[in-house]
């Protein structure tokens, strides 16, 4: 039995997924954030499924699979869960994964600090810059530049 060409197999697989209404991004990660406080994350795409945890507003997630009313997501810990599409926002957020992240006044080492964010704090992603910097906005309105290596969700 001849081996199938990998490209043909992938095209067939994508065609099946798309035919089933599944959205798959082949061009990089797609990120969203939780739109409201107290959103239940499930182990399957149904309210009858087992609840895994409750996510807070602005919690960033990466879209893995998109169905009509449900989206399978991954969080900064690598955990996979399902969330109702209506509970997600297009607002781009990042989360501090280091013990703390110093946001600087300019995107350069040695710049004066603008603010410091503790681990697990969600920040709005304003802009991704060259050189591994991300411009962020704190909930209090302060803005600054943080090294991308200290964040997840960009």
Q: pTM above 0.85? A: no
Q: How far apart are CA 151 and CA 134, in angstroms?
A: 9
Alpha-carbon torsion (41, 43, 44, 47), positive or negative: negative
From first to last of its 154 residues, the chain has per-residue pLDDT tens of 444 444 343 444 434 444 444 444 444 689 999 999 999 999 999 999 999 999 999 999 999 999 999 999 999 999 999 999 999 999 999 999 999 999 999 999 999 999 999 999 999 999 999 999 999 999 999 999 999 999 999 8
What is the rounded radius of gyration, in angstroms, for the C-alpha atoms of the chain? 18
For each of the domains in the chain, give its residue range(s) and CATH number, in order of start: 6-91 (2.30.30.40), 94-152 (2.30.30.40)
């Amino acid at each position: 039995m001849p081996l199938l060409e990998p490209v043909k197999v992938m095209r067939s697989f994508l065609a099946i997924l798309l035919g089933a209404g599944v959205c798959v991004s082949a061009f990089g990660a797609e990120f969203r954030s939780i739109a409201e406080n107290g959103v239940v994350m499930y182990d399957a795409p149904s309210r009858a499924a087992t609840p895994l945890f409750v996510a807070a507003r602005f919690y960033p997630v990466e879209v893995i699979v998109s169905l009509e009313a449900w989206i399978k997501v991954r969080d900064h810990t690598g955990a996979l869960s399902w969330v109702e599409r209506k509970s997600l926002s297009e607002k781009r957020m990042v989360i501090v994964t280091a013990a703390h992240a110093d946001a600087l006044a300019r995107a350069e080492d040695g710049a004066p600090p603008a603010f410091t964010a503790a681990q697990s704090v969600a920040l709005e992603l304003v802009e991704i810059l060259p050189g591994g910097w991300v411009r962020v906005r704190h909930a209090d309105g302060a803005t600054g530049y943080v090294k991308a290596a200290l964040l997840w969700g960009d």
